[in-house]
Amino acid sequence: MADYAIGDLQGCYFEFNRLLERVNFNPSQDHLYLVGDIVARGPDSLACLERLYNMQGSVSISLGNHDLHLIACHYLNKPANPKDKLGPVFDSPKRADYIKFLQHQPLAIWLAHHDTFISHAGLNPNWSIKKALKRAQFAQTCYQGPDAIHYFTHMYEPHPTEWQSTLSKEAKFRYIVNYFTRMRFVYSDGKLELHNKTSVSDNSSIIPWFEHPNISQLKQHLVFGHWAALEGKTNKENVHGLDTGCVWGGSMTLMELAQKKHFIESSHSFI
């Protein structure tokens, strides 16, 4: 029995399948944790969804921004961006099943036996792991509940500048989702900077979220994706970046969670 985490698939089914074969993944014994962004931009998002749906008892996904966008497009009847190459997903007779499968996935995962926290973009420096899980649970009740369409309608509005108890439920939902799925750089007070997507910045007022002092003092392992420009490099033994840019011509990375051993498959995809 083994537990694995894997970086952003983004429709790169060939590399995904190769990595599962390399570790002899057995759905009846092993478990796979995905850091999100299962779909979009790559050549075969539908195959990725089909594979995960068919072994859903052995997989858990911390939803990414592309996953939530797919769910929102489905419910809001919005056309997908052609660049996302999601036509086959929208045309699939099982689209509703795949959407429900994704919709029931969490924003954050805590694995006590591995002392490991998993989410798509990382951990808000102003939140403890306990608070992050509580915030994630609130957001999940929004996008999984009977008013999900209402919350998806408000998901694209401007990011609230700071958390306040007086924020509307819609603003709280958006605030939480943005930290879990869009975060890269933060200011010293932990506020999000949502424009810079590179691995470094010449803006001295912002730092990668994992370099914030509140994160640096943590001993738990943090596993995330989302930030392909890092190429997996965080320079921290307990912070594991698994998005190594497969869809952009880089590679896909899978990590065995007990020993933190990495398996890497070079990209065979071209966008």
- Is the per-residue pLDDT at 120 higher than 60? yes
pLDDT confidence of residue 83:
95
- Is the per-residue pLDDT at 141 higher than 60? yes
Residue 106 is part of which domain span? 3-266
Please check whether residue 88 lies inside any domain of the structure: yes
The whole-angstrom separation of Cα 17 and Cα 233 is 24
pLDDT confidence of residue 270:
55
- What the block records as the tokens of 263 is 């398996």
CATH number of the domain encompassing residue 14: 3.60.21.10
pLDDT confidence of residue 203:
82
- SS3 for 152? helix
The whole-angstrom separation of Cα 15 and Cα 247 is 10
- Is the per-residue pLDDT at 262 higher than 70? yes
pLDDT confidence of residue 198:
87
- Is the per-residue pLDDT at 202 higher than 90? no
Mean pLDDT of the chain: 96
Please check whether residue 111 lies inside any domain of the structure: yes
- Is the per-residue pLDDT at 21 higher than 90? yes
- H/E run at residue 71: helix 65-76
Planar angle of CA 112, 231, 48, nearest 5 degrees: 70
pLDDT confidence of residue 200:
78
Q: Say whether pTM exceeds 0.85.
A: yes
In the chain, the number of structural domains is 1
pLDDT confidence of residue 204:
82
Write out pLDDT tens, residues 33-74: 999 999 999 999 999 999 999 999 999 999 999 999 999 999
The whole-angstrom separation of Cα 13 and Cα 78 is 25
Write out pLDDT tens, residues 82-100: 999 999 999 999 999 999 9
The whole-angstrom separation of Cα 41 and Cα 6 is 17
Tell me what percent of the residues of the chain surpass a pLDDT of 70.
99
Please check whether residue 256 lies inside any domain of the structure: yes
- Is the per-residue pLDDT at 201 higher than 90? no
- H/E run at residue 16: helix 13-22
Write out pLDDT tens, residues 157-171: 999 989 999 999 999
Mean pLDDT in residue range 211-231? 97
Please check whether residue 271 lies inside any domain of the structure: no
Mean pLDDT in residue range 124-149? 98
How crowded is residue 118: how many other Cβ atoms within 10 Å of its Cβ? 29
